[in-house]
Amino acid sequence: MVKRHECLKHLATIVASDEIVVSGIGHNEWDNLHPSDSNLFIGAMGYVAPLSFGMALALPKRRVVSMEGDGSILMGIGVLATIGWKKPTNLILLIFDNESFESPGGLPTSTSQNTDLVAIGKSCGVNSMGCASLEEFKKCIEVAFSSQGPHIICAKVESGTLRVPPGTVDGQEGKYRFVRYIESREGRNILAPTPLSPNSKKIDGSEQK
């Protein structure tokens, strides 16, 4: 097995500064290694892959890397079926599988028994790769970053989180920072105030767009 932090250290040498990284578990370690306004932290299990999937569809010219734990992907596993159907070529899903819900105490997940996330990904039509050493992880990353996705990389990792300094922005602030970054880079209005309804009466005769 490999350590998640070793994988992240390697990933930090590969991901470009403007590529989107959506992370659940491992976010603090990632943000320390690779701080960027294009990093988004999602605290709710089960939402990392679906949000990343939506972003990959909405921003097809940008690579979207999603990273989460086994417990989190299992909570929303159905999304893999839709990813395999819609096949966003710019999406890479990293799963750090320590076969447990480590953060709240370490109860085992079903990947410690029969559940094979690589096989599930494949059965959904997603190119899915498994690895259990740093060398294998590097090979998977090379494939995923040099060919059309979607890709799943499921790394069997040891339990253990590296102690890093806490982040400097909280979840809500991080969300706005990320959204403003995308708005400015993509020229899109995502969370700006809603303009007047087209049906409302304009009292100054102006045309509001």
Residues found near ligand TPP in the complex (CB under 6 A): 25, 43-46, 68-72, 98, 100-104, 109
- Smallest distance, ligand TPP to C-beta of residue 176, A: 20
Whether the CB-CB separation of 21 and 15 falls below 8 Å is answered with yes
The residue among 59 and 161 lying less far from ligand TPP, judged by its C-beta, is 161
**Residue whose structure tokens are 């921003």:** 59
Token code pair at residue 66? 């999603």
- Smallest distance, ligand TPP to C-beta of residue 69, A: 2
Contacts of residue 142, defined as CB under 8 A and 6 or more positions apart, other chains included, come to none
The residue among 29 and 182 lying less far from ligand TPP, judged by its C-beta, is 29
88 makes contact, choosing from Mg ion, ligand TPP, none, with CB < 5 to 8 Å by partner type, with none
The residue among 71 and 174 lying less far from Mg ion, judged by its C-beta, is 71
36 makes contact, choosing from ligand TPP, Mg ion, none, with CB < 5 to 8 Å by partner type, with none
The residue among 11 and 182 lying less far from Mg ion, judged by its C-beta, is 11
- Which residues are near Mg ion by CB under 5 A? 69-71, 98
Closest-approach residue to ligand TPP (CB): 69
> What are φ and ψ of residue 127, in 5° steps?
-60, 115
Q: Is 196 helix (H, G, I), strand (E, B) or coil?
A: coil
Q: Where are the alpha helices (DSSP H) in the chain?
A: 4-12, 27-33, 48-58, 70-75, 79-86, 117-123, 134-146, 171-186
Distance (Å, rounded) from C-alpha 23 to C-alpha 66? 6
Q: Is 137 helix (H, G, I), strand (E, B) or coil?
A: helix
45 makes contact, choosing from ligand TPP, Mg ion, none, with CB < 5 to 8 Å by partner type, with ligand TPP
